[in-house]
Amino acid sequence: MFGMAAGAGEPGDDRRPDAVPADRWQAFPSGFLVNIANPKSAVFFGSVFATTLPLASMTPPDYVLVVLLFFVNSVIVHGAVSEAFALPGLQHILRARRRLIAASSALVFLAFGMATLVHVVVTIAR
């Protein structure tokens, strides 16, 4: 069970977790759709819209333009990231340091979680 959570996959699954897709153009739409379908993306974009746009004074064409600009921005950013991660040199570095990267990420999220917990406890104690 722990191995599956750590990325080992199902027992008997021989696929490598870092295997390169057959075609770069197959990977991009898949990754883009996964990100856009993720609820955290909706929360993020909702908060960006709510805090940065003058929603009360916007017209319907303004809404369309904003959505298109966010879409184009997402395509550019995701395209640049996918191109960067497709570079053989970067792939080699990431594979060689996979465990260090995973451990570092875990520590960062643990630190954020602990900071949030401390903040909540201090706020409640007041």
| Alpha-carbon distances of 106 from 17, 41, 63, 98, 117, rounded to whole Å | 18, 21, 38, 12, 16
Q: What is the pLDDT of residues 38-53, one digit of tens each?
A: 888 788 878 887 888 8
Q: What is the pLDDT of residues 7-32, one digit of tens each?
A: 555 555 555 555 655 566 677 777 77
Tell me, yes or no, whether 72 and 113 share the same domain: no
Tell me, yes or no, whether 100 and 82 share the same domain: no
Segments forming the whole domain that contains residue 48: 23-86
Tell me, yes or no, whether 45 and 73 share the same domain: yes
Tokens read off for 60: 């319907």
Residue 121 pLDDT class (50, 70, 90 cuts): very high
Please give the tally of structural domains in the chain: 2
Distance CA 82, CA 68 (A): 21
Tell me, yes or no, whether 104 and 78 share the same domain: no
Instruction: Output the pTM of the full model.
Output: 0.54
Q: Is residue 14 part of a domain?
A: no
CB 15 within 8 A of CB 23: no
